[in-house]
A = this chain, B = another copy of it.
Amino acid sequence: MAPASHHAKAPRPPRLAAGIDIGGTGLKVGLLEFTAQPRLVAVDVLEGHAREAPAEALDRLVGAAYALLEGQGIDPARLEVVGVGCAGLVDVPNGILRTSPNLPTWHDVPVRAELGKRLSRTVRLVNDAQAFLAAEWRHGAAQGAANAIFLTLGTGVGGGLVLNGKPYRGASGLGAEIGHLSVDLDGPPCSCGNRGCLELFVGRAAIERQAVEAGLDDERGISPARLADRAREGDARARRIFEETGRRLGVAIAGLVNLFEPEVVVVGGGVAAAGDLLLGPAEREFRERSMVARQRPVQLKPAALGPQAGMVGAALLAADPGSAG
B-contacting residues of A (Cβ < 8 Å)?
A: 89, 98-99, 101, 146-147, 159, 161, 163-164, 166, 168-178, 180-185, 192-195, 248, 251, 254-255, 258-263, 288-292, 294-296
Contact between chains at B255 and A174 (CB < 8 Å)? no
A263 touches which of B171, B180, B194, B294 (Cβ 8 Å): B171
Contact for A248 among B101, B181, B185, B292, CB less than 8 A: B185
Known: A89-B291, A89-B292, A291-B193. A170 touches B261 (CB 8 A): yes
Q: How far is the CA of A193 from the CA of B180 in the complex (A)?
A: 23
Q: Which residues of B contact A98 (CB under 8 A)?
A: 295
**Is the beta-carbon distance between B181 and A258 smaller than 8 angstroms?**
yes
Given pairs A89-B292, A193-B289, 13 additional interface contacts (CB within 8 A): A99-B295, A146-B171, A163-B163, A172-B261, A175-B258, A175-B261, A181-B255, A181-B258, A182-B251, A183-B183, A194-B258, A194-B290, A195-B251
Task: Give the most central of A166, A248, A288, A295: most B CB within 10 Å.
Answer: A295
- Which B residues are CB-close (under 8 A) to A296? 171-172, 174
- Within the assembled complex, what's the spacing in Å between the Cα atoms of A186 and B261? 23
Give the oligomeric copy count: 2
20 interchain pairs, CB-CB under 8 A: A101-B291, A146-B171, A159-B259, A163-B163, A163-B168, A164-B166, A164-B168, A170-B259, A172-B261, A172-B296, A174-B261, A177-B291, A181-B259, A182-B255, A182-B289, A183-B183, A192-B291, A193-B290, A194-B289, A195-B289
Report the Cα distance A291→B170, complex, angstroms: 14
Chain B contacts of A259 at CB under 8 A? 159, 161, 170, 175-178, 181, 259
In the complex, A200 Cα to B110 Cα: how many Å? Answer: 44
Q: Tell me which of B159, B161, B248, B255 contacts A180 (CB under 8 A).
A: B255
Contacts of A192 in B (CB 8 A): 258, 291
Q: Which of A101, A183, A185 has the most CB of B within 10 A?
A: A185
Task: Say whether A177 contacts B251, CB under 8 Å.
Answer: no
Whole-angstrom distance between the Cβ of A46 and the nearest chain B Cβ:
27
Given the complex, which residues of B lie within 8 Å of A170, measured CB to CB?
147, 259-262, 292
